[in-house]
Structure 1
Amino acid sequence: MYKVFVNDKPLFLTSTVEKETDFQLFLLESIDIEQLISKIFNNRIEKAFLYHPDEKAALKLLKERIQVAKAGGGLVYNKWGEVLFILRNGKWDLPKGGIEKNEDIEDTAMREVEEETGVSGLKITRKLQKTYHVFKRNGTYRLKITHWYEMKTNYDGTLIGQAEEGIEKVAWLKPAQIKDALKNSYENIKLLFEEEGSVKQI
């Protein structure tokens, strides 16, 4: 099952027909996707399931119906086991950003971490799950697919938030602090963490 967030509300792509309880079920083949997303965006639907017999085909179909923006991001650990967070628009987030022309997604992820936080000497240690969320730009809905990577660094210099990206603060957070930060974060970011602050491997 794929989980796509629209305005931090879940839209599930599923191949199982479940009885509607606290959600609404729609058929992906026949639904007006823009209209559905608009309703979720405007808080008229809290939770929705999109049914298609083949989950992978469902994702492909969704990508055909809504413009895709590809991004890369990092879940970065320092030598003390702290995780690199940014505070943007009043919420804790992880550094990430859009891919540039002819760029490998791994390079995107490392470049964005460095640009948004000032942290260098990054090394990718493993690939994490992708996250999906819908955002609106210039009146158009887009599906952002973010490729996440676990990274390590020995960098212990100054942290510099990229002001033009609206980053108010950059901080290394200890495992105990992460739990609190996630209370004021996005659902996609929470997906990357288990309760004890380690990363889910998919």
Structure 2
Amino acid sequence: MYKVFVKEIPIILSTKKNIGEHYTTIPLKQARFKKLVKKINNGELLYVNLYHKNAEKLELFLRKKIKVVEAAGGMVYNSKKEILFIRRNKKWDLPKGKIEKGETHEAAAIREVMEETGVQNLEIRDFMMKTYHVFTRNNKFRLKITYWYEMFSDYDGPLVPQPDEGIKKAKWKNFEKSQKALLDSYENIKLLFPKEYLTTHSNDRITKM
């Protein structure tokens, strides 16, 4: 199953005809993807499931219907089990960026994390998942597919946010501060976190960010 976010609302692509009573299921062959995106942007549509019995057809469909921009990024842990966040567009996010021509996904992820935060000594531990979201560039829809990696760094020096990318802050956050940051983040970022991060403690137990 894929979740393609449009304005924080997911279009579901799945191998199941029925995923909930609120969802309208449309066979993949009948789907007009850009029209669905427009309806979501206009507030006309909330719950849609694009169905095909063959899971391999789902991403191929996306790549055929809308121009793809590929990116890579990381969820970086340090020795204190803190996670590295960035602040951009008034949201907490994880560092990521566009994959350059000829660059591997892993190399792009490390480069982008370093450029956006100033962190050093990065080590990729594992591939996590891909996330999908639709954005607009020059009045045309684009699909960003981001490859996410779990990383580790023992770096304890100063973090340097990248201002020309609109990044205002780069901060290590412990478990409780990560929980609070996710209240002010993106739905596709939340997919990367275990469920316990998405259940917040009461406000009096959360220290200020």
TM-score, with structure 2 as normaliser = 0.90
Q: Give 3-state SS (helix, strand or coil) of 2:17's partner.
A: coil
Write the mapping of 1:72-111 to structure 2, written as runs, cut at 5 A. 72-111=72-111
Q: CA deviation at 1:197?
A: 3.8
Q: Is the contact made by 2:17 and 2:51 (CA closer than 8 Å) also made in structure 1?
A: yes
Write the mapping of 1:176-187 to structure 2, written as runs, cut at 5 A. 176-187=176-187
**Identity of aligned pairs, percent?**
47
Q: Give 3-state SS (helix, strand or coil) of 2:21's partner.
A: coil
Is 1:166–2:172 an aligned residue pair?
Answer: no
Q: CA deviation at 1:143?
A: 1.2
> Equivalent residue for 2:203?
none
Q: Distance in 2 between matches of 1:20 and 1:195?
A: 21
Q: Is the contact made by 2:19 and 2:49 (CA closer than 8 Å) also made in structure 1?
A: no
User: Aligned AA for 1:116?
Assistant: E
Q: Provide the alpha-carbon RMSD of the alignment.
A: 1.5
> Equivalent residue for 1:150?
150
Of residues 103-112 and 61-70 in structure 1, the stretch that sits farther from structure 2 once superposed is 61-70
Q: CA deviation at 1:19?
A: 7.3
> Equivalent residue for 1:70?
70
Q: Distance in 1 between matches of 2:139 and 2:48?
A: 22
Q: Distance in 1 between matches of 2:195 and 2:19?
A: 29
User: Aligned AA for 1:90?
Assistant: K
Q: CA deviation at 1:20?
A: 6.1
User: Aligned AA for 1:39?
Assistant: K
Give the paired residue count: 198
Of residues 40-49 and 80-89 in structure 1, the stretch that sits farther from structure 2 once superposed is 40-49
Q: Distance in 2 between matches of 1:162 and 1:154?
A: 20
Check 1:19–1:106 CA distance in 2 against 1; reply closer, same or farther (3 A cut): closer
Q: Give 3-state SS (helix, strand or coil) of 1:196's partner.
A: helix
Q: Deviations over 1:77-110 (max 9, x none)?
A: 1111100000111111000000001101100000
Of residues 146-155 and 20-29 in structure 1, the stretch that sits farther from structure 2 once superposed is 20-29
Q: Is the contact made by 1:123 and 1:152 (CA closer than 8 Å) also made in structure 2?
A: yes
User: Aligned AA for 1:177?
Assistant: K
Q: CA deviation at 1:27?
A: 2.2
Q: CA deviation at 1:43?
A: 2.2
> Equivalent residue for 1:56?
56
Q: Give 3-state SS (helix, strand or coil) of 1:35's partner.
A: helix
Q: Deviations over 1:52-77 (max 9, x none)?
A: 22122122112111111111000001
| Unpaired segments ≥5 residues, structure 1 | none
Write the mapping of 1:131-150 to structure 2, written as runs, cut at 5 A. 131-150=131-150
Q: Distance in 1 between matches of 2:38 and 2:30?
A: 16
> Equivalent residue for 2:41?
41
> Equivalent residue for 1:112?
112
Q: Is the contact made by 1:2 and 1:55 (CA closer than 8 Å) also made in structure 2?
A: no
Q: Deviations over 1:97-136 (max 9, x none)?
A: 0000110110000000001001111000111111111111
Q: Give 3-state SS (helix, strand or coil) of 1:155's partner.
A: coil
Q: Distance in 2 between matches of 1:134 and 1:56?
A: 20
